[in-house]
Structure 1
Amino acid sequence: MAPLVSSIEISRPPAEVFAYVTDPAHFAEWQGDVVSARAASDGRTFTTTRRIGPKERTFTQEVTDSRPPVHWSARGLDGPLRPSMDMTLEPLADGTASRITFALDFAPQGIGVALLPLVRRQAAKGAPISYRNLKRRLESGAA
């Protein structure tokens, strides 16, 4: 299956958007299903606790590519669905604004194969809401 791809324009410079969106300490501020997230001391991995239905699940992910302020990728290391995210930023308006494109995909393992259609539907519905939250936070100065 193709990744779920969304783009949004944010009236903030790419470096500012990149720093905020890639910092796990901010994930719960703009991603609706994130309860908490924190970077590991190695700087390459982070854990994210997400609300999935009535339960909370914690997953470990690793940053696979980081080229500030234009590209960031991470992939899941555990769990039945193992999400991967590729994020690309493009400068707009002489660098005072940004277009951010997210490509979200999943690598199902075991029971994750059966859960994949449901999770993709939930992500397709919830991810754009999170991206609008991101835009609102950054443009309002709340970030």
Structure 2
Amino acid sequence: MKRPLRWIGAILAAVAVAALLALPLPESVDLTTEIVTVTSIERPDSAVFDYVTTPAHWPDWHPSSLSVRGATDHPLSVGEQVTEEFRVAGRRGSVVWTVAVRDRPRKWVIIGKIDGKPAGTVRYSLTPVASGTRFERVFVYRSPSLWFAAANVLFVRARIQQESDEAVARLKKTLEALP
């Protein structure tokens, strides 16, 4: 009689732990991740800025960007939005990006929402250097649950860093190949 009760207790405990791990974290719990990628691009900062802030170009250089729709044919200004279909770390989805900061040609920030919930922030910082432009891309996202936080530590963060590194390398190659 004790053995079946132990199994039931163990199963109930496992279900309770899984439920706790899946619960949304309160906003006061700050489990954010910052992915930073930097490169030097042999192009003027204004040319780099205009290219990277024009969403139609994103699928050309960022492997996670599958398509974009909305205001895609020009460098976006504060308040403008674009919807991007993505595949990040194996997860597909759709995000609405809104431009929060535009200081051409130095800084550009977009804030993403998935289903109306915060999904992350992307910040571009551009600095003129002797050989062209120092380009820094920072992607910041928050773990919505302990389950995601654990997965992030184990494999998601590394995969996103790899995708970001590839994206910025492709951006450099693409821009430096332009006439």
Query: How does the TM-score come out when normalised to structure 1?
Result: 0.84
2:111 to 41, 65, 75: 75
1:107 to 142, 158, 166: 142
Instruction: Determine whether 1:60 maps to 2:96.
Output: yes
Q: 1:89 to 1:123 in 2, by over 3 A?
A: same
1:127 to 164, 168, 172: 164
Aligned alpha-carbon RMSD (Å):
2.6
Decide whether the 8 Å contact of 1:74 with 1:85 is kept in 2: yes
Q: 1:81 to 1:127 in 2, by over 3 A?
A: farther
How far apart are residue 108 of structure 1 and its match? 3.4
Decide which moves more: 46-55 or 10-19. Answer: 46-55
2:81 to 28, 45, 67: 45
Q: Give 1 or 2: higher helix fraction.
A: 2
SS in 2 for 1:3: strand
SS in 1 for 2:114: coil
Runs of 4+ in 1 over 6 A off after TM superposition: none
Decide whether the 8 Å contact of 1:10 with 1:99 is kept in 2: yes
Decide whether the 8 Å contact of 1:66 with 1:72 is kept in 2: yes
Instruction: Determine whether 1:91 maps to 2:128.
Output: yes
Amino acid at match of 1:48: E
Per the alignment, residue 50 of structure 2 pairs with 19
Query: How does the TM-score come out when normalised to structure 2?
Result: 0.68
Unaligned 5+ runs, structure 1: none
How far apart are residue 78 of structure 1 and its match? 2.0
How many residue pairs match? The answer is: 140
Larger Rg: 2
Q: 1:115 to 1:61 in 2, by over 3 A?
A: farther
Unaligned 5+ runs, structure 2: 1-31
Decide whether the 8 Å contact of 1:25 with 1:39 is kept in 2: no
Percent identity, aligned pairs only?
A: 24
Amino acid at match of 1:35: L
Decide whether the 8 Å contact of 1:30 with 1:137 is kept in 2: yes
